[in-house]
Structure 1
């Protein structure tokens, strides 16, 4: 039976990307026609899952004209949406590539403050989502007005319904929800060091730090994202390292979210830790092969997965 997946994005965005030639200070920069795409951690996970043939529901806050644009962009991609109307205008990010040297500049804008009424509406939508999810992916940053305690309570209530929590956030939010325990987290080495209290981690000590979190009941699986070196996936019984294939990188936008989607796609099918790791690295790497914020193509992801499986 297919698993029901809910992605949760509390601070979504519309990503506006463009190109310019020779970016210099104090000069008027002439940009190409902008491309608008949906953005935000959980939203990108749902978009990426759809590329793998897996349906999920993208729950997100939606406010003002940018919120309307975000919802319409997702509908054009046939993503199933659960938009929660808020008084806060949805934010917009700007990404520009200098065509003279292929340098990418990413400007992330803050979201407007979420009111208490907005937070209550989001809480009700998450906990009353129908059908109730088997897997919930909480991904991205928290907007102003949403406390780490609020998010921890959401995790606690979802877990009481036997929902598997995939957490891809950072900072205090991640620290707090790990006290409740989740199914999977995806820290980089720096984040893993902070969470485990073990300093100066390298490839050899990463699995020890991950095991520490698992033994403390904070996560069942720790996926240590190591960029060009691939990823370590650690559970109580196993430690799997999958190297990242060498590809021509065009953009890193959405690579982390694509990696999460790849892992979730295998978790939903009950796959092994090795399969979870391979698909995560394959999708994350495939995303770097696409321009702008285009995530990955199914063809590239499957090709890299097959290569990693040899």
Structure 2
């Protein structure tokens, strides 16, 4: 992972299926070593692994609202509680923080907007398979950043990837043309609190 991250310049760290597979300490070491050597680190983690990766100051951190609540970072699913948790994660070293909220619009605290929080609105679509939308969203955001797109465009791309995953059966579905077409319809709206 270290070699590939250094070779490509961007690494996405996500959680294992079991807590026994990869120790938390490895996440800390990877995140800090990659960051110290000029690699952009992105993460889709929760719990101790999220804490560990913050040491590497990830450029993007995605977490679900359920995970924020389970970790004790947010008291409830109320957007104000989630935004407070997002700001704490930013204060601890993260760049852009994204919180997926199941059927509700995701929230984003982009690194380039100070304290402005955005709601990510995707067009209304009928779900066929709800699993995997958050993972697809994270992958889309990171892929867009790798291509050099600005953060707001990366958020639109990620939201389109997540939405397309939900309307089709099978994880990680949807082609580039469909992602681009849907991303144009994703709206980023300032969260008013």
Structure 2 partner of 1:253: 131
Counterpart contact for 1:258–1:284, Cα < 8 Å: yes
Task: Write the distance in 2 (CA, Å) between the matches of 1:299 and 1:248.
Answer: 19
1:203 to 60, 79, 91: 79
Q: Which has the higher strand share?
A: 1
Structure 2 partner of 1:308: 186
Please give the residue correspondences for 1:137-286 in structure 2 after superposition, counting only pairs within 5 Å: 137-141=12-16, 143=18, 144-193=20-69, 197-217=73-93, 219-236=94-111, 237=114, 238-286=116-164
Cα separation, partners in 2 of 1:154 and 1:301, compared to 1, 3 Å: same
Q: Which has the higher helix share?
A: 2
Counterpart contact for 1:196–1:209, Cα < 8 Å: no
Structure 2 partner of 1:135: 10
Q: Name the Cα RMSD after superposition.
A: 2.4
Task: Write the distance in 2 (CA, Å) between the matches of 1:227 and 1:130.
Answer: 30
Q: Which runs of 5+ in 2 are unaligned?
A: 189-193
Highest CA radius of gyration, 1 or 2? Answer: 1
Structure 2 partner of 1:288: 166
Structure 2 partner of 1:114: none
Task: Write the distance in 1 (CA, Å) between the matches of 2:6 and 2:39.
Answer: 12
Task: Write the distance in 1 (CA, Å) between the matches of 2:92 and 2:5.
Answer: 32
Structure 1 partner of 2:191: none
Could you say what secondary structure the match of 1:307 adopts? coil
Please give the residue correspondences for 1:83-102 in structure 2 after superposition, counting only pairs within 5 Å: none
Large movers: runs of 4+ above 6 Å: none
Could you say what secondary structure the match of 1:278 adopts? helix
Please give the residue correspondences for 1:5-44 in structure 2 after superposition, counting only pairs within 5 Å: none
Counterpart contact for 1:167–1:184, Cα < 8 Å: yes
With structure 2 as the length reference, what TM-score do the two structures score?
Answer: 0.82
With structure 1 as the length reference, what TM-score do the two structures score?
Answer: 0.53
